[in-house]
Amino acid sequence: YGYVELGTIIGAHGVHGFLKLSSTTDFSEKRLCEPGIRHIKPPNRRSPREVQLAEGRPLRPDSATTGSDANPIYLIRLEHIQDRESALKLRGCVLYSLEDEKVDDLLDEGEYIVSDLIGLNVFLDEQVYGDAKKDLFVGNIRGVVMGSEICAIPGLGQDLLEVLLPKRKELQRGEEMVLIPFVPQIVSRVDLDLRMVFVKPPAGLLDLSYVREEKVKIKGLLPAARY
């Protein structure tokens, strides 16, 4: 798609064109407060269009929503929006930045963007297992389950890598998945250039797999049978 969602405009603020935005980005201070080019998509449009962010500031900062289901709220102003009436017309629009606008300089050591992890191949760490296991391939990362979604108390929940395991002949339907905690004790190395993640799982962890079956959706009604 080429874009990263920053948040949804939920209303107007004041009479000078400010917009209230419910933030969904982990880098609100940079992406919602620093002026520059952003992209906006109305609900009835298929693709975003370019806009110029003039300014932004927190109304309900990220720190105030830690451990809750509420999103941070930011006030932003776009250059072409000058009054409340124009601002109200943008309610429901989604704000984006380009996917290639990296924020690597804002990451602490050991932190990664979720989208950078999706699609990486997972291997047993050869420094631990060596030749003990000829096939070190574990699977492919299909998703990340955030610790904040599992536990509302900050710091208690661990992020989990959702890994698709190789297809087994005896598995007739669905995909076999396993959840691997994204902690240094288990995930020993991440190489984004090689698109590889190395793990040293405790005994039995990879056996705790589950099958995710695809849900079949029937669109419309089937035609009546003819006799």
Question: pTM (2 decimals)?
Answer: 0.62
Count Cα atoms within 13 angstroms, Cβ side, for 22: 11
In this predicted model, which residue has the larger pLDDT, 92 or 154?
Answer: 92
Q: Looking at 89-98, 111-120, 145-154, 163-172, which range is the least confident one?
A: 145-154
Could you tell me which of 139, 107, 20 has the C-alpha nearest to residue 72?
20
Q: For position 63, what pLDDT does the model report?
A: 64
Other beta carbons within 10 angstroms of residue 225's beta carbon come to: 5
Least reliable range by pLDDT among 99-103, 130-134, 164-168, 192-196: 130-134
Residue whose C-alpha is closest to residue 81's, from 138, 16, 141: 16
Q: Is 34 helix (H, G, I), strand (E, B) or coil?
A: coil
